[in-house]
Structure 1
């Protein structure tokens, strides 16, 4: 009797820990979401391969990370907009999508010499979104599945606001860096102009206000720094000139948007 009881308990424990059948059913019913998750994992792996080129070269891993980000953005656009339509309304809606912005982002830098900073927004978005969906997969497997992974996911989600702020700061810093790359001969003459339009799209994003907020925070920082009496005059003039020049390039103010979901 005791042997039968222990046997039945042992047979129940794996099913409680890992519900493989539920996972298979989830994958079959959410193919696009799972594909997005898998591609984002590859983006993280390729980015790691850029810094630690164990398999292949760093150069190859860099462009694979950008291509996987482009694939993620294209698949996300298909998920949100459906079939492509050749009309003005569809084009306008396409340009409003954050996924379209980062599809352009990948296309901009795929023709530029490798820049480490370019991969930062790509890998941070991949970590942020893959962590969120990894929790869904773990919940499908069972509530007690892989507590260590759940701990890492909770850390990412807790820092999500700071991660999005870091992404927006990187987007802004890359603008003057593009100009420097042109002067160094590592980018084409059109790269800064194309990236400027990308930055305008990020600034006017309806679902992600972080780039717009970061511009505002940087303006306050520069103006408060310039107002310090101990700051040398030439630095004060330089900071105010940067603020004035950036303000002239900024698009018209848009209504505040809700954080990205």
Structure 2
């Protein structure tokens, strides 16, 4: 009877370091993604608080880590056997959010460091790293590092706000890139290339937050133009800006319900 009870209690999956090793072997790419995302978070923190490192180096390392994350995700999403130089493949390639952020890193590899550039990649890395950290902690055991579990739960609880903040940073960064180009802090082509990045994010099928944030900003700007205390010249300028942005927006395919 004792043996039967012991066997009944061992029906769950194994936990601890051996289970973690087995998990790493079975999920090499996912674990690598988690590690690179943690590096992105740490490098961003190192850029903001350069206590033991060079902040400029930390800035570019964060971009490189983001590029590595995007490349690994593309490897998962698009198998090597499906890669070709056809038009259909390129269209599929640019539909992937990972492709967007791979080009994001390339755009800013030769610019003067700016904290706003790191905000979107930091937020995405933080959110996804926190999510996979729970998987790792579950592999180690239910009671492992409960403080870390609490912090991760707080991050996941704020996931919608984190995604909205990342989308807002993507949008606000566009005029910042224009100003940087005017002052020689980035290449003259950077605003044009970043415009394409924003259009890709706007048309993203997997992440609607950029599109929704644009809509919220438009509603807020429209409401501001209706305020009686807003000067007529400013209201007219806002309406013109809204019209320009709407004309620049790419067409979006309607998703079937």
TM over 0.5: yes
5+ residue gaps, structure 2: 1-13
Secondary structure at 2:94 match in 1: helix
RMSD: 1.7
Corresponding residue for residue 80 of structure 1: 77
5+ residue gaps, structure 1: 1-16
Query: Are residues 1:28 and 2:30 paired?
Result: no
Corresponding residue for residue 109 of structure 1: 108
Number of residue pairs aligned between Structure 1 and Structure 2: 243
**Aligned equivalents of 1:100, 1:211: Cα separation in 2:** 16
**Aligned equivalents of 1:257, 1:242: Cα separation in 2:** 31
**Aligned equivalents of 1:127, 1:257: Cα separation in 2:** 31
Query: Equivalences for 1:172-251 in 2 at 5 Å?
Result: 172-251=171-250
**Over residues 187-227 of structure 1, what are the superposed CA-to-partner deviations in whole Å (9 max), with x where a residue is unaligned?**
11110000000000000001000000000000000001101
Query: Are residues 1:68 and 2:75 paired?
Result: no
Superposition TM-score, scaled by structure 2 size:
0.91
Shift of 1:241: 1.4
**Over residues 48-95 of structure 1, what are the superposed CA-to-partner deviations in whole Å (9 max), with x where a residue is unaligned?**
111122333111000000000000000110011010323222221111
Query: Equivalences for 1:50-65 in 2 at 5 Å?
Result: 50-65=47-62
Superposition TM-score, scaled by structure 1 size:
0.90
Shift of 1:173: 0.5
Shift of 1:29: 0.1
Secondary structure at 1:241 match in 2: helix
Shift of 1:18: 6.2
Query: Equivalences for 1:121-132 in 2 at 5 Å?
Result: 121-132=120-131
**Over residues 85-123 of structure 1, what are the superposed CA-to-partner deviations in whole Å (9 max), with x where a residue is unaligned?**
232222211110000000000000111111110000011
Partners of 1:138 and 1:145 within 8 A in 2: yes
**Aligned equivalents of 2:217, 2:140: Cα separation in 1:** 44
Partners of 1:209 and 1:257 within 8 A in 2: no
**Aligned equivalents of 1:46, 1:66: Cα separation in 2:** 9
**Over residues 139-178 of structure 1, what are the superposed CA-to-partner deviations in whole Å (9 max), with x where a residue is unaligned?**
1111111110110111111100000000000100011111
